[in-house]
Amino acid sequence: MTPSHISSRLLATAALGALMLAAVPAAAQEKAATAPAAGSAAKPEIGDFGFDLTGMDKSVQPGDDFYAFANGTWAKNTVIPADKSNYGMFTALADLSQKRTQEILEAAKADPNSMIGRAYASYLDTAAVEAKGLAPIQPWLAKIRAVDKAGLARLLAEADRSGIQHFFGGYVGQDDKNPDVYIYTMFQGGIGMPDRDFYLKDNERNAKLQAAYLKHLENVLTLAGEKDAAARAKAIYDFEKQVATVHWDKNDSSDAVKVYNKMTIAELAKTAPGFDWQSFIRGIGVNEDSILVSQPSAFTGEAKLLADAPIGVVRDMLIVRSLDGFSGVLPDAVAQEAFSFYGTALSGTPQMQERWKRAVDFTTNNMGEAVGKDYVAKYFPPETKAAMDVLVKNVLAALDARIGNLTWMQPGTKVKAKKKLANFTTKIGYPDRWKDYSKLEIRGDDLFGNLLRANQFAHDDNVSRLGGPIRRWEWGMTPMEVNAYANFGMNEIVFPAAILQPPFFDPRADAAINYGGIGAVIGHEISHHFDDQGAKYDETGKLADWWTPADVAAFEAAGKALVAQYDAYEVLPGEKLDGTFTLGENIGDLAGLTIAYDAYRKSLGGKEAPVIDGLTGDQRFFLGWAQVWRRNYREQNLSQRITTDPHSPSIQRSWVSRNLDPWYKAYQIKQGQKLYLAPKDRVRIW
């Protein structure tokens, strides 16, 4: 779960995977790491000016389908690799990042004093993993099999610290209404499929997933050595379906105001009787009395269901969660079983990644900044950071100007909005201060123990925030991640090193491509602080009412129009987008592209950009936007995303340009074309 004070990332990264930018070879990609500063006459990495013209399909009118016009040939010719659920620009760069990280870890593996080298080597030692079998996890499974209701709270606290998901989860983060203080926040849990809708919505696709999940539960119990696995799996599934009925839906769970429910532990015990909350919360190391409970009524329902459930069902559920949670560090039979449901049934991915790729991910997931320090030293030149800093400042200035010219925002609110913008912190590339892993024990011959200790280290580090100063130096991503995010409580925007590469950003590319690519990404993250949730936080990062009723009414009216626009998109037969659920990200795309366009035009100094390969500057700008969203999906993955991902799919993200007047002028979009919107129907917010 993404903390409420941190926006959804630019791209949900779960289940992501030769860079398919036409025919750009890997060797050429590597050159991006040492690109010269902006203004160099050197050739860009992609095409003549930073865009892959060979990927276009000019038989399609841009006004009918701008995504197909810009990317149609690429989409037709690009095959999704067997170990991917989808493939596009993000995944291509993720592959490059993964390969570069492998080279770093292979070198580290030869050094017995290297923690990351030992972690990586322990994952590659499949013979040791297979020889140990389930022995490493058996002491924990024995605890589960012996637990009774009286000891359940203490056992779940131990599970929480060990990184095993169960009936509810939590984390220590900023108090949304007092952002200078940390507080423990709890959220609903207790289901093994990604969302309540997978249990409660009746359709053919869900029926198949439910059958596959039921079989998965049976198979995991069998692997654990349990008897009568089929009947016990059915009991787990029936219990989880009951839990799903008391869960809040994704829209309510995404509402920053609705999920802010501060209470004492005693008040939680009254709200959700039947569970020993005091033992659980103290058991995970939280000694504060006040906590935040994201979905109170769900906790009421879950506590009752947990109190009424036979202890055998609870034990079995925890056995499954434990093997699934540690599947990657257990024998291949366990890993393959977890993948068969979560990888293949849910996302349509035919095969697991090679072991070395999983070893890289294991190391970066658990010691990301220890790897990141070496990564940025090798692959993130200072001139890229400097050029990115200029772009960020230009996009910030563009939004500042737009705020000043808004007709719907009241003058007093504009002053506060500009103050919020002026207080932004921008983080580019990598942290100024690296995380200290010296207290984490990593052994070259103990893969299971390495993950267990890494989970415990991460948990203890998170809980240790309580009572201390806000760690403004911390990052929520590693430098190797191809992504970006906005943090409301910190009033910051963050861009890891790995996204600052072609096609998003190339200091040697045409400015139009860079502004349409990374410029719009910058605008997207900036505008998250002013979207349907981010706008609820003031310039200090505090959840507060700082808009007038007139501002709120005007903003919500524009939001409803955008909701209706995206509600109408049928992505798969019978499966439409949820415009309310995706509203924040759609506002981010709309506002991001809008202010990036302003920044681009300002960068021209009042002149028109030259025509390149028959394309005007404005045409190239919108092509730069469309290019970064090149992506093919497996049908199962796309269906899952419609239910669980607050981001619209790539095609619909590229279509946000239909709300911008300059797009119509650039491509001579005419009434009657499929993406045409009358001027009065174009959504304009920022």
Same domain for 603 and 541: yes
pLDDT greater than 60 at residue 383? yes
What CA–CA distance (Å, rounded) separates 309 from 218? 19
- The pLDDT tens digits for 225-266 are 999 999 999 999 999 999 999 999 999 999 999 999 999 999
Which residues lie closer than 8 Å to 421 by C-beta, 6 or more apart? 396, 399, 400, 403, 526, 529
Supply the pLDDT for residue 9: 52
**What Å distances lie between residue 433 and 114, 134, 372, 472, CA to CA?**
20, 39, 12, 10
Q: What angle do CA 498, 502, 505 make, to 5 degrees?
A: 80
What CA–CA distance (Å, rounded) separates 504 from 385? 14
Indicate which CATH number applies to the domain containing 668. 3.40.390.10
The answer to whether position 488 is within a domain reads: yes
pLDDT greater than 80 at residue 116? yes
Tell me which DSSP letter residue 340 carries. Answer: I
Same domain for 619 and 515: yes
The length of the chain, given as a count of residues: 686
The answer to whether position 458 is within a domain reads: no
Which residues lie closer than 8 Å to 658 by C-beta, 6 or more apart? 66, 669, 675, 676, 677, 682
Contact, 305 vs 315, CB < 8 A?
Answer: no
Token pair for 187:
């959220």
Same domain for 89 and 166: no
Same domain for 64 and 178: no
Supply the pLDDT for residue 654: 98
Token pair for 188:
């609903």
Cβ-based burial of 657 (10 A; exposed 0-12, middle 13-18, buried ≥19): buried
Supply the pLDDT for residue 462: 97
What CA–CA distance (Å, rounded) separates 630 from 570? 19
The answer to whether position 317 is within a domain reads: no
Quickly list DSSP for 650-681.
HHHHHGGGGG-HHHHHHHT--TTSTT---GGG
- The pLDDT tens digits for 323-355 are 999 999 999 999 999 999 999 999 999 999 999
pTM for the whole thing? Answer: 0.92
CA-based nearest residue to 488, from 532, 520, 552: 532
Least confident interval from 20-34, 99-113, 350-364, 611-625: 20-34
The answer to whether position 482 is within a domain reads: yes
Same domain for 650 and 589: yes
Q: In this structure, is the dihedral angle defined by the CA atoms of residues 447, 457, 282 and 272, taken in order, positive or negative?
A: negative
- The pLDDT tens digits for 162-209 are 999 999 999 999 999 999 999 999 999 999 999 999 999 999 999 999
> Which of the listed residues 312, 334, 367 is the one where a domain comes to its end?
312
Residue 540 backbone zone (phi > 0: left; psi -120 to 50: alpha; other: beta): alpha
What CA–CA distance (Å, rounded) separates 525 from 421? 12
Query: Before 503, cis peptide (omega within 30)?
Result: yes
What CA–CA distance (Å, rounded) separates 298 from 187? 9
The answer to whether position 633 is within a domain reads: yes
Could you list the residue range(s) of the whole structural domain that residue 86 is in? Answer: 26-103+359-435+474-681
Least confident interval from 23-37, 308-322, 502-516, 607-621: 23-37
Same domain for 613 and 538: yes
Same domain for 89 and 206: no
What CA–CA distance (Å, rounded) separates 144 from 282? 20
Provide the pLDDT confidence category of residue 546 given band limits of 50, 70 and 90: very high
The residue with tokens 């024995």 is 142
- The pLDDT tens digits for 558-608 are 999 999 999 999 999 999 999 999 999 999 999 999 999 999 999 999 999
The answer to whether position 2 is within a domain reads: no
Provide the pLDDT confidence category of residue 365 given band limits of 50, 70 and 90: very high
The answer to whether position 129 is within a domain reads: no
Provide the pLDDT confidence category of residue 42 given band limits of 50, 70 and 90: confident
Across residues 619-638, what is the average pLDDT?
Answer: 98
Indicate which CATH number applies to the domain containing 294. 1.10.1380.10
pLDDT greater than 70 at residue 617? yes
Token pair for 343:
């990888």
Contact, 213 vs 345, CB < 8 A?
Answer: yes
Supply the pLDDT for residue 571: 97
Across residues 138-146, what is the average pLDDT?
Answer: 98
Q: What is the 3-state secondary structure (H, E, C) of 389-430?
A: HHHHHHHHHHHHHHHHHCCCCCHHHHHHHHHHHHCCEEEEEC
Same domain for 279 and 371: no
Same domain for 504 and 410: yes
Same domain for 644 and 548: yes
**SS3 state of residue 633:** strand
Supply the pLDDT for residue 10: 56
Contact, 172 vs 311, CB < 8 A?
Answer: no
The answer to whether position 137 is within a domain reads: no
Contact, 327 vs 335, CB < 8 A?
Answer: yes
Same domain for 303 and 366: no
What CA–CA distance (Å, rounded) separates 151 from 279? 9
Strands, E assignment, 104-199 = 168-175, 178-188
Provide the pLDDT confidence category of residue 11 given band limits of 50, 70 and 90: low
Provide the pLDDT confidence category of residue 296 given band limits of 50, 70 and 90: very high
Count how many domains the chain has. 2
Supply the pLDDT for residue 41: 55
Q: In this structure, is the dihedral angle defined by the CA atoms of residues 50, 56, 58 and 61, taken in order, positive or negative?
A: negative
Residue burial 315-340, b: 16+ Cβ < 10 Å; e: rest: bbbbbbbbbbbbbbbbbeebbebbbb
Supply the pLDDT for residue 4: 41
Same domain for 379 and 255: no
> Which of the listed residues 312, 328, 344 is the one where a domain comes to its end?
312
Provide the pLDDT confidence category of residue 36 given band limits of 50, 70 and 90: very low
> Which of the listed residues 312, 337, 367 is the one where a domain comes to its end?
312
What CA–CA distance (Å, rounded) separates 194 from 246? 15
What CA–CA distance (Å, rounded) separates 550 from 534? 18
